[in-house]
Amino acid sequence: MIIQHNSFKAGHDRFSKEDFGTDFKFGVSAAAFQTEGSVLTDGKGLSIWDVFSEQKGKIYKGQDAREACDFYNRFEQDLLLMKSMNIANFRFSLSWPRILPKGIGKSNSKGIDFYNKVIDKCLELGIAPWITLYHWDLPQALEDKGGWTNRKIIDWFTGYVSLCAREFGDRVKNWMVLNEPLVFTGAGYFLGVHAPGKKGLKNFLPAMHHAAICQAEGGRILRDILPEARIGTTFSCSLIEPYRNIPKDQLAVKRVDALVNRLFLEPALGLGYPREDLKFLKHLDNYFLTGDEDLLKFNFDFIGLQNYTREVVKHTCLVPYIQAINIKATKRKVPVTTMQWEIFPQGIYEMLKRFDSYKGIKNIIVTENGAAFPDKSENGKIEDPERLDYIRKYLEEVLKAKKEGVNVKGYFIWSFTDNFEWAEGYHPRFGLVHINYKTQERTIKSSGNWYSDFLKQLVRKET
Ligand code: FCB
């Protein structure tokens, strides 16, 4: 593996690292399924994503994550590269089926060893490990029993969490229970476009309710076993705005906002589900047991806010349950990323303000923000001016919110390297580091060099 360093020079910006204060955590984020590869190595069990990606027509160009970034074999070099880029915080997820191949029962010592090695290497290099317990790769053996739709998942999940807490908690101080529960239940159990490919309200509602309980139960288990740990969980969120300034569209905004931004957050804060704004939640009663209201609550040390874009919506009777549709960014002719997501830096500021207005939220960490753009390869260098511009603009908005008193304590870029972007395969590149998937060669992009200089405080403020 050759590591090339681009010739990006430290520059001047409208802000510098020190503006964020000394205790602000800058880092990068990644996830097991998207990077590790080695999906059947050393006793790992199949995950729902391994199975889903084998099915025809599910992933862009029929791609799969069997090799991905080969992080399983290359983690040492990748962590050294991270260190060389002055990155001091690494958020990554554990693969449940690597640790418990069947999801429950006998654990896999080689899987546990792998994560011990990753954690130990991080610590040796002075990189703080931030662990996400569930980033979407459910053991297939549990999906065969209904997966998230089966209430037994509460026992399965808490068993997995306590095992991880006991194995890794002596060295890992920062934990996140779930990654974006709305996305894995919505795309995986309602729309069927993510693993396990289930559809409809009858799958979504139980999956959603059980995930919301697991989110809090996971927090309780961690706090019980690791009283000193900082415990969080992460949420996708987007500013939702009306297409037209008319009452019908404003009501559509209210519904979509309740779904996208409040559904999992508010029950954790003890506010219950947003039933008033989402009438279809009345069907939840079929899955709601006495005492569940309490089970949904947990006092997290921090909330992980993940933001990429904003959504503009309008009223329609044609979409069941929500009576709203999203007006695509391309139709609105606004700047977009490879994902066709609108570039809208003010959105992260608005969402930080929103989250901060909840009394129950103690601290916010931006656990994901970043962008996919096509990279330009020039004389062995990878130039990605659009990503760099995106990151600078979003970060400036984070700083603005912080200066206005929002309790935001960190910012993690998605992602360290390019990786397997779920149903979109390898096509969208989100990395600060480029991967040549034929050779697995890593090349730091110009955005990566900027981040490295910024973190080393070589990026100075414009005067
Ligand atoms: C988030 C996911 C992450 C990655 C980014 C682009 O929704 O948490 O795994 O796919 O989007």
Mean pLDDT (whole number) for 179-197: 98
Residue partners of 106: CB distance under 8 A and separation at least 6: 100
Asked if residue 14 lies in contact with residue 80, where contact means CB atoms within 8 angstroms, the answer is no
Please report which confidence band the pLDDT of residue 84 belongs to, taking 50, 70 and 90 as the band edges: very high
Report the alpha-carbon distance of residue 383 to residue 374 in Å, rounded. Answer: 9
Question: Considering only CA atoms, which of 72, 178, 174 is closest in space to residue 409?
Answer: 174
Q: For ligand 1, atom 5, which residue shows the shortest CA distance?
A: 414
One of 3.30.2020.30, 3.90.1170.40, 3.20.20.80, 3.30.420.40 is the CATH number of 2-462, namely 3.20.20.80
Mean pLDDT over each residue of the chain, to the nearest integer: 96
Domain layout of the chain by residue ranges: 2-462
What local confidence, expressed as pLDDT, does residue 4 receive? 43
One-letter amino acid of 282: K
Residue 87 has pLDDT above 80, yes or no: yes
Helix (H) or strand (E) holding 24: none
- Residue 13: the pLDDT is 86
* 180 belongs to the catalytic site: yes
Distance set, CA 406 to CA 309, 350, 452 (Å): 20, 11, 25
Ligand 1, CB within 6 Å, residue ranges: 31, 34, 179-180, 183, 236, 368, 414, 421-422, 430
Q: Which helix (H) or strand (E) segment is 133 a member of?
A: strand 128-134
Q: Does pLDDT of 5 surpass 60?
A: no
Mean pLDDT of 45-51: 98
Nearest CA to ligand 1 atom 10: 421
Given a cut of 80, whether residue 281 has pLDDT beyond it is: yes
pLDDT tens sequence across 227-239: 999 999 999 999 9
pLDDT tens digits, one per residue of 23-44? 999 999 999 999 999 999 999 9
In a mutational test of the pocket of ligand 1, which residue from 134, 180, 184 has the highest number of ligand atoms less than 8 Å from its CB? Answer: 180
Asked if 171 contacts 130 with a C-beta cutoff of 8 angstroms, the reply is no
Q: Could you read off the pLDDT of 359-395 as tens digits, one per residue?
A: 999 999 999 999 999 999 888 899 999 999 999 999 9
DSSP-assigned beta bridge partners for residue 305: 235, 366
| Residues 389-418: tens digit of each pLDDT | 999 999 999 999 999 999 999 999 999 999
Angle between helix axes 109-125 and 153-168 (nearest 10 degrees) is 50
Does the pLDDT at position 282 exceed 70? yes
pLDDT reported for residue 462: 77
Q: Give the Å distance between the CA of 39 and the centre of ligand 1.
A: 19
Catalytic status, residue 378: no
Please report, as a single letter, which amino acid is at residue 417.
T
Best mutation site among 337, 414, 418, 421 for ligand 1 pocket (most ligand atoms within 8 Å of CB)? 414
The per-residue pLDDT for range 148-177, each reduced to its tens digit, is 999 999 999 999 999 999 999 999 999 999
- 36-53 burial: b if 16+ Cβ within 10 Å, else e: bbbbeeeebbbbbbbbbb
| pLDDT of 380 | 86
What pLDDT does residue 11 have? 61
Mean predicted confidence (pLDDT) in 105-112: 98
Q: Which atom of ligand 1 is nearest to the CA of 234?
A: 8
Cβ atoms 33, 135 nearer than 8 A: yes
pLDDT value at position 458?
87
Which residue in the list 368, 386, 397, 421 is annotated as catalytic? 368
